[in-house]
Amino acid sequence: MKSVRPIILVHGGAGPRAMTSPQGDCLRAALQVGYHLLDRGSSALVAVEQTIRVLERSGLFNAGTGAHLQLDGVRRMDASIMEGERLRAGAVASIEGIVHPITAASRVMEETDHVLLVGPMATKFARHFKMERHRIGTRPRRISYGAMLRQGRSARDRHGTVGAVALDQAGIVAAGASTGGIDRMLPGRVGDTPIIGCGVYAENETGAVSMTGLGEGIMRLAIAKEICDRLRQGKSPAQVARVVLQRLVTRIQGTAGALVITPQRRFTIAHVTPNMAAGWWDGKGEPTVKDRFR
């Protein structure tokens, strides 16, 4: 069987802020890690996880060591991963105190019959498998719930959620994402990232998608699955992403960006925000990394 030339896409969030030079360097490094794994025959699933781990560890994005604090002063994170051959998926939500939520999500997929674990039990699951912990913990703030509610009403999306999609030599696609949420989150807030079909989706009949942006809008339209369903009609990833993201804007004034790849190696990076820190690499030349894709 003839092998497919692999390719990997990565993002570091979509929003109003321009990508910084350190963020760009980190995205390039992550692409190199992911592609070299694919080039040596690793699965798309492994490449996606390891690529996202680079970004989680960096502290430069709203994920892993750089995750935002919720309004009570606690860092709670979400992540998910999915592969397109057997539709296996794993996710965690509101997990605390670990460096790599994406690996916790992967372990949920590999070690259990479940898809999603949440809260303290997700944290306990990660600790059972001795996953690396944050060196600096977070302590709850003394603030009334009423005050948190008032602050939460002015929540904003910021640059930072990370994700990746990949196509491996076997022609299998995978997608993943990891986040610390948005500014001024109510404790326990969960966005689109750990919700399969919203923040990520992957199936070999259509393609793989990793989303970033304001999760409340992405969830309401189940954007990742919507993109995959439209790919089934034979349209290009660029056409589909443009239509679906524009519907997000016109229908509910949402904001988002998307990575999309198909088993036929067609791909796009699209966003309806001023910027989206993202890039791709297929092993030729240097990785492409920038913060605007039009």
Higher pLDDT, 143 or 242: 242
Catalytic residue among 65, 103, 123, 161: 161
Give the residue-averaged pLDDT of 32-37: 98
pLDDT > 90 fraction of the chain, expressed in percent and rounded: 84
pLDDT category at 83 given cuts 50, 70, 90 is: very high
Q: Kindly report which listed range (84-93, 104-113, 153-162) carries the lowest average pLDDT score.
A: 153-162
pLDDT digits (tens, 9 = 90+) for 203-217: 999 999 999 999 999
pTM: 0.93
Examine the pLDDT at 143 and tell me if it is beyond 70: no
Specify the pLDDT at position 246.
97
Examine the pLDDT at 137 and tell me if it is beyond 80: no
Give, in order, the Cα–Cα distances in Å from 3 to each of 39, 40, 167, 170, 244.
11, 12, 11, 6, 32
Fold exhibited by the domain 7-285? Glutamine Phosphoribosylpyrophosphate, subunit 1, domain 1 (3.60.20)
Is 161 an active-site residue?
Answer: yes
Higher pLDDT, 173 or 135: 173
Specify the pLDDT at position 262.
98
Give the residue-averaged pLDDT of 236-251: 97
Specify the pLDDT at position 13.
94
